[in-house]
């Protein structure tokens, strides 16, 4: 009883952003068929992290493409293209992340696709939009982080620019593509008309910064200032940050320095009675906190701070987190059996419908694994 059962998605997208959107649609019940080039398939199959491969495909590929089918086609071959067009005629959604101009050359741009199927939702991801000097630049996560100003928000004052250590741009863009596709499906329910949905990595990562960019636009364009040490958000006041304790670390979110001063038994904190100074004197206050917090263990402080409802937490590694009862109670992991009998141990979809967790039914496909079945089923 998943909400998108009956929806057919053709995924021409490669790598992370587009396929992460396809994964979410698959988790929601859509049938997702990857359209891949023959033999090698999509690029992500060979992009490995930590050199990890399973059955010839990177573990990353397995992670992002579970629960999908694979159909191979050489889009430059007229015969193959004809078959793909037949699929497009029957699909509800197609996604691609080719650079601007590529789909036009193949003859599968929106206008052409719409002629084949007027009810189609045609969704595309570009790096930087379709116009302007960056339109043809490679749309890659780290590059877009670097161009978007994002690298000045993480890390400490004297650090060089610090990127976020995950594909934040790809993932956020993928979620936005899903928003657009689903909204267009809702509209189609009323109008019976398809739509063109477009997102770009750059617009998505700017959207992610909307609060701080709004602040920048309205404070005389002051650039972000990270705290000297333990910085966790360039714009937030002390105590917001991570601090060393006797045996580890503790995070302190926003809260009153007065209450904190009482629990930590540090009367020095009382001198900052104007909350504005918690930002202007942030480095000095955080220095003070550092000297106090390092004297006791994390759990010592947590016991005392949590009792007073002060927002704080331990800082965990994967090793500690994945063994924690608060993690196991989520049933966040799943093991997916591949045809080769090997198992992929991964996470599940984070969204629940009617209190039911969503688990995948199958692993990522081999290149062209479903060619025969799809040709028969759709009479291609």
Partner 1 sequence: MKPLDDILIIDLSQFLSAPSATLRLADLGARVIKVERPETGDLCRQLYISNVILNGESSVFRAINRNKESFQADLKNKTDKTLVLKLIEKADVLIHNFRPGVIERLGLDYGTIKKINPSIIYGSISGYGEEGPWKSKPGQDLLLQSLSGLTWLSGNGHDGPVPMGLAIVDILSGSHLAQGILAALVKKSKTGKGMKVSVSMLESILDFQFETITTFYHDGGQPTERSTENNAHAYLGAPYGIYKTKNGHLSLAMGAIPFLGELLECEQLKNYPEPESWFTQRDEIKKILADHLKTETTEKWLSVLEPADIWCANVLNWNTLFDHEGFKVLDMIQKVVMGDGFEYKTTRCPIKIDGKLLTSALGSPALGEHTEAIINELT
Tell me which residues are annotated as active site: 170
Burial level of 135, CB count in 10 A (0-12/13-18/19+)? middle
Q: What is the DSSP letter of 72?
A: E
Verify binding: residue 294, partner 1, rule CB under 8 A.
Answer: no
Stretch that binds partner 1, among 79-87, 257-265, 288-296, 347-355 (CB under 8 A): 347-355
Q: How far is CA 192 from CA 8, 37, 67, 188, in A?
A: 16, 32, 28, 5
Residue 43's alpha-carbon distances to 18, 47, 48, in angstroms, are 12, 7, 10
Nearer to partner 1, 53 or 378 (CB): 53
Q: Give the Cβ contact number of residue 336 at 10 Å.
A: 20
In whole angstroms, how close is the CB of 82 to partner 1 at the nearest point?
27
Residue 374 CB, nearest approach to partner 1 (Å): 24
The CA–CA distances, whole Å, from 14 to 26, 43, 83, 133 equal 16, 6, 20, 23
CA pair distance 66, 51, nearest whole angstrom: 19
Residue whose C-alpha is closest to residue 250's, from 297, 217, 208, 283: 297
Residue 84 or 93 having the CB closest to partner 1: 93
**In the complex with partner 1, which residue's Cβ is closer, 74 or 214?**
214
User: Judging by DSSP bridges, how do beta strands 195-200 and 121-126 pair with one another?
Assistant: parallel
Half-sphere exposure of 316 (CA within 13 A, CB side): 11
Q: Does 172 bind partner 1 (CB under 8 A)?
A: yes
Q: Which of 41, 88, 176, 260 binds partner 1 (CB under 8 A)?
A: 176
Q: Using the rule CB under 8 A, is 9 a contact of partner 1?
A: no
**Judged by CB under 8 A, does residue 71 bind partner 1?**
no
Say how far apart CA 236 and CA 345 lie, in whole Å. 38
One residue of 186, 273, 361, 376 binding partner 1 per CB under 8 A:
186
Give yes or no for residue 332 binding partner 1 (CB under 8 A). Answer: yes
Phi, psi dihedrals of residue 310, rounded to the nearest 5°: -85, 135
Question: CA 41 to CA 367: how far, in whole Å?
Answer: 6
Choose, by CB under 8 A, the member of 158, 192, 317, 361 that binds partner 1.
317
Among 235, 300, 359, 378, binds partner 1 (CB under 8 A): 235
Select from 354, 361, 376, 379 the one that contacts partner 1 (CB under 8 A): 354
31-39, 234-242, 263-271, 284-292 -> range binding partner 1 (CB under 8 A): 234-242
Please select the residue that binds partner 1; options are 9, 10, 17, 64, rule is CB under 8 A: 64
Using CB under 8 A as the binding rule, whether residue 362 contacts partner 1 is answered as no
The stretch among 76-84, 96-104, 210-218, 362-370 that binds partner 1 (CB under 8 A) is 210-218
Q: Which is nearer to partner 1, 125 or 374 (CB)?
A: 125
Determine the Cα–Cα distance for residues 207 and 205; give it in Å rounded to an integer: 5
> If binding is defined by CB under 8 A, does position 22 make contact with partner 1?
no
Taking the C-alpha atoms of residue 55 and residue 192, their distance in angstroms, rounded to an integer, is 42
Q: Which of 43, 188, 41, 48 is nearest to 121 (CA)?
A: 188
List residues bridging with 251 in a β-sheet.
242, 313
Angle between helix axes 201-208 and 168-191 (nearest 10 degrees) is 100
Total interface residues for partner 1 by CB under 8 A:
141
The reply on whether position 209 binds partner 1 by CB under 8 A is: yes
Chain positions 75 to 134 lying near partner 1, rule: CB under 8 A, are 128-129, 131-134
Binder among 45, 62, 68, 96 for partner 1 (CB under 8 A): 62
Q: Determine the interface stretch with partner 1 among 73-81, 100-108, 258-266, 304-312 (rule: CB under 8 A).
A: 304-312
> Cβ 150 to partner 1, closest distance in Å?
8
User: Judged by CB under 8 A, which of 86, 99, 137, 228 binds partner 1?
Assistant: 137
Residue 45 makes contact with partner 1 by CB under 8 A: no
């Amino acid at each position: 009883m998943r909400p998108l059962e009956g929806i057919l998605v053709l995924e021409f997208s490669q790598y992370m952003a587009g396929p992460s959107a396809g994964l979410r649609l698959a988790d929601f019940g859509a049938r997702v068929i990857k359209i891949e080039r023959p033999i090698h398939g999509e690029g992500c199959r060979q992009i490995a992290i930590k050199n990890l491969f399973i059955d010839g495909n990177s573990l990353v590929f397995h992670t992002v493409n579970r629960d999908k089918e694979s159909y191979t086609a050489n889009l430059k071959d007229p015969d193959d293209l004809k078959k793909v067009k037949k699929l497009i005629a029957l699909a509800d959604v197609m996604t691609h992340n080719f650079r601007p101009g590529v789909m036009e050359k193949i003859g599968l741009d929106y206008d052409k696709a719409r002629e084949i199927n007027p009810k189609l939702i045609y969704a595309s991801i570009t790096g930087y939009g379709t116009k302007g000097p960056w339109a043809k630049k490679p749309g890659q996560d780290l590059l877009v982080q670097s161009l978007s100003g994002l690298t000045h928000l993480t890390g400490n004052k004297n650090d060089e620019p610090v990127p976020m250590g995950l594909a934040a741009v790809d993932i956020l863009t993928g979620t936005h593509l899903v928003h657009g596709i689903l909204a267009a499906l809702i509209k189609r329910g009323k109008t019976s008309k398809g739509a063109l949905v477009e997102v770009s990595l750059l617009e998505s990562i700017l959207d992610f910064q909307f609060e701080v960019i709004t602040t920048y636009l309205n404070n005389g364009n002051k650039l972000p200032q990270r705290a000297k040490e333990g910085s966790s958000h360039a714009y937030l006041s002390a105590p917001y940050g991570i601090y060393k304790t006797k045996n580890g670390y503790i995070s302190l979110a926003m809260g009153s320095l007065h209450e904190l001063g009482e629990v930590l038994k540090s009367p020095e904190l009382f001198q900052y009675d104007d909350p504005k100074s918690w930002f202007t004197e942030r480095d000095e206050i955080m220095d003070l906190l550092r000297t106090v917090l390092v004297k006791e263990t994390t759990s010592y402080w947590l016991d005392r701070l949590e009792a007073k409802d002060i927002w704080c937490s331990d800082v965990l590694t994967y090793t500690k987190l994945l063994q924690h009862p608060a993690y196991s109670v989520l049933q966040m992991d799943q093991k997916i059996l591949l045809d080769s009998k090997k198992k992929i141990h991964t996470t599940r979809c984070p969204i629940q419908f009617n209190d039911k967790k969503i688990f995948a039914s199958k692993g990522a496909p081999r290149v062209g694994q479903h060619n025969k079945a799809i040709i028969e089923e759709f009479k291609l």
